[in-house]
Amino acid sequence: MTVTGRAALPARLAPLLLLALPLAPLTGCGIDDSGPAPAGSPASGLTRPDSRDVAAIHVYFYSATGLERVSRSDARAGDAQQARAAMELLTEGPTGAERARGLVSFLPHRTRAPHVTSPAHGPVEVTVPSDGDLGRAALRQLVCTAADAAGAMRSVRTGDVTVRVRGEAGGVLATERCRR
């Protein structure tokens, strides 16, 4: 008996399909080889307390995209001197490599770092060695740097720490949380 009509066509193509099937993966998926695409600046943002780098102290500087958290290796990371060390590093300003990346500080040039008191609970107190020459951007740098150091010691998120900034005469300049 011979096969005719509709069933004849698939029966004739079956051997050809069996030969073509192993070659199908060689045709590709239709994605052109275009190379990497520019994606902008690296990811940034708040981190979970359990994912912090315990060998680093974090300070905050500005880039073209806003306030950025910068990690600095420091032996004082994780100890009682962390908040003080963070203020000292912030006062020094961006390193040469950080400036090359476009990071800047809006803190006035100071010869001494702000004093930080970081109790186990309640607001962190930052006393700056002046009374009122800080702009909004500089206050945000101070608040976020102090909150990050206190958050690391308290095992809480940076944004959950309240910081009170006072002038040298004791007047309150700001009471806020780090919002980037």
**How much is the pLDDT for 79?**
78
Average pLDDT of the chain?
81
Are 62 and 53 in contact by the 8 Å Cβ rule? The answer is no
Q: Is 37 part of a structural domain of the chain?
A: no
Where do we find the tokens 């500080």? Answer: 105
Q: Is 68 part of a structural domain of the chain?
A: yes
**63 strand-pairing partners:** 66
Q: Is 28 part of a structural domain of the chain?
A: no
Q: Is 5 part of a structural domain of the chain?
A: no
Average pLDDT over residues 51-61: 76
137: confidence class by pLDDT, cuts 50, 70, 90: very high
Q: Is 17 part of a structural domain of the chain?
A: no
Q: Is 159 part of a structural domain of the chain?
A: yes
**How much is the pLDDT for 78?**
81
**How much is the pLDDT for 70?**
97
Query: Over the stretch 67-103, which tens digit does the pLDDT of each residue have?
Result: 999 999 988 888 778 899 999 999 999 999 999 999 9
51: confidence class by pLDDT, cuts 50, 70, 90: very low
**How much is the pLDDT for 49?**
46
Q: Is 30 part of a structural domain of the chain?
A: no
Domain span at residue 55 reads: 49-177
**How much is the pLDDT for 36?**
61
**72 strand-pairing partners:** 57
139, pLDDT greater than 80: yes
Q: Is 69 part of a structural domain of the chain?
A: yes
**How much is the pLDDT for 14?**
63
Query: Over the stretch 7-41, which tens digit does the pLDDT of each residue have?
Result: 555 666 666 656 666 665 655 555 556 656 666 66
Higher-confidence position of 112 and 20: 112
**How much is the pLDDT for 99?**
96
C-alpha dihedral, 151 to 157 to 159 to 160, nearest 10°: -80
Domains identified in the chain, total number: 1
